[in-house]
Amino acid sequence: MGQINEKNIANAVYLLAKEQKSQNVVDDLRFLVKSVKEVSEFRYFLFSSVKISEKENLIKKSFPKVGDVAVKSFLTVIRYNLLKKVNKIINIVESLQLEESSSKKAVVESVVKMNKSQITKLKDVLSKRLDKSVEIENVINSKVKGGLKIKISDLLIDVSVAGKIKQLKNNLQ
C-alpha cells in the first residue's frame, strides 16, 4: 500500500472528483476548511471519537450543498491527521484540474488588492506568454514591497522592489 501523504490524497480526490464529475470539490473543500476554522464546536466534533459515519451525516445535514466527494475527502484528511496540510491538498487538486483544462493558475501577491483592470491586463500578458488561459488569485501580502510576486506552478516571478534589489545584489557579486 502506498504512503498516505498530501500528494496521494490530492491525486485521489482529483481522480474521484473527475470520475464523479464533481466540479465544485475545490470550492466545497475550502468552505469546509473555513467552517472548521471559524466554528470551534465543529472542529471539536470532527476530532472527537465519534464514528466517521456520524461525522459524515452531520456534515451532510449541516452543509447540504457540499458535494459527497468533498465531504468524504475532508473526512479522509481528518482521519489521517492532515488538516494542517489541507490547503496544500486543495491547491494540488486545483492545479491538476487546471492542468487538464489547459489553463494555469497564477497566485499574485501584492501589498494592496488589485483592481479588475489590473487583473485583466496581467491575465492577458500571462496568457500570451504561457500560451494558455490563466486564472488569477490575488493574495494580499504586506511583506511585498512595491510590486508583485507571481507564482505559476513551479515558476516564481518576483517583480517587487525587494526582488529587483535582490537580483541586483546577486548580479553584483
CATH of the domain at 137: 3.40.30
Beta strands (DSSP E) in 7-77 are none
- In this structure, the answer to whether residues 25 and 82 fall within a common structural domain is yes
Query: What are residue 133's phi and psi, to 5 degrees?
Result: -70, 150
Q: Which residue bears the cell 475545490?
A: 26
pLDDT for the residue 170? 84
- In this structure, the answer to whether residues 122 and 70 fall within a common structural domain is no
Could you tell me if residue 89 is inside a domain? yes
Could you tell me if residue 1 is inside a domain? no
> How many domains would you assign to the chain?
2
- Given a cut of 70, whether residue 65 has pLDDT beyond it is yes
The residues facing 149 across adjacent strands are: 109, 158
Sign of CA dihedral 141, 145, 148, 154: negative
- In this structure, the answer to whether residues 92 and 150 fall within a common structural domain is no
Q: Stretch 84-108: mean pLDDT, rounded?
A: 85
Please work out, in degrees rounded to the nearest 5, the angle formed at the alpha carbon of residue 56 by the alpha carbons of 50 and 59: 105
As a whole-number percent, the residues of the chain with pLDDT over 70 amount to 99
Distance CA 124, CA 172 (A): 33
- In this structure, the answer to whether residues 110 and 149 fall within a common structural domain is yes
Q: Stretch 6-27: mean pLDDT, rounded?
A: 88
